[in-house]
Amino acid sequence: MTATAVLLPRKAAPTPSRPKLKHPRVASILGVGKKWHWPLIICRGLSLCPSILGAAKIAFALIERLERNKLRVGCVDVELVLAALWCSVSAATSFYLTNALMSRWLIYYTPMATIVRLSTIGFLIAILISNAVKSIGFSSDRMLLPAWITVASVLLVSYWVTLRSVGMEREVFPALNVFCGASYVSMCALLIEMWLCGP
């Protein structure tokens, strides 16, 4: 008598649950309680506020200039658009920086201590951006572009130093790609502006 094996369908292995977009990934992975997710998201997002406010001010200044010049685009207008681009680069870099710090802090500290630290770093980023824009870009609208490039550069260096101190240098590439892309676009736009408008 021969034994025949009965083939039963295998049960699918349970797929690991992925964290939802509204939850910080590291907090979900580390098992931080759901009541802490929204405060962590809000405090991490505080670092974006200065750049968003700066972009809004630049947009209002650009609209005002376009209305005054009867919708003719001038060279200063191109520089204001580039300044808004660098506001977005600053926002992305500050988000990468605070996200990296949050990931590190959640490993070593309680969620409440991490929220306090995130709020503090958001406040420090706001002070940096405010002082840089006031000291460099205060004189005229043309100086807003160098001010925002300076802010984005300082934030990128801070992000790189932070990652280097914890041995995660490779994580800097997304922010570096954003920075390099904005640099290339700015260089091309400024070369075209010099060609059209003169020095």
pLDDT tens digit string along 90-124? 999 999 888 888 888 888 888 899 999 999 999 99
Range of the domain at 57: 30-197
Residue 1 lies in a domain: no
Assigned domain for 3 exists: no
Average pLDDT over residues 130-146: 79
The reported pLDDT for the residue numbered 92 is 92
Does pTM top 0.85 for this prediction? no
Q: How many CB atoms lie within 10 A of CB 12?
A: 6
State the CATH number of the domain containing residue 72.
1.20.1410
Residue 5 has pLDDT above 90, yes or no: no
> Is residue 104 a part of any domain in this protein?
yes
Does residue 88 register a pLDDT over 90? Answer: yes
**Within a domain: 189:** yes
Express each pLDDT in 62-87 by its tens digit.
888 878 876 666 666 788 889 999 99
Domain membership of residue 22 (yes or no) is no
pLDDT at 21: 46
pLDDT at 19 over 70: no
Return the exposure string of 38-53: e unless at least 16 CB atoms fall within 10 Å of the residue's CB, then b.
eebbebbebbbebbee
Residue 14 lies in a domain: no
Query: Residue 46: inside a domain, yes or no?
Result: yes
Distance CA 62, CA 52 (A): 15
For residue 172, the model assigns a pLDDT of: 78
Q: Report yes or no on 80 lying in a domain.
A: yes
Residue 13 — pLDDT band, cuts 50, 70, 90? Answer: very low
Domain count for the chain: 1
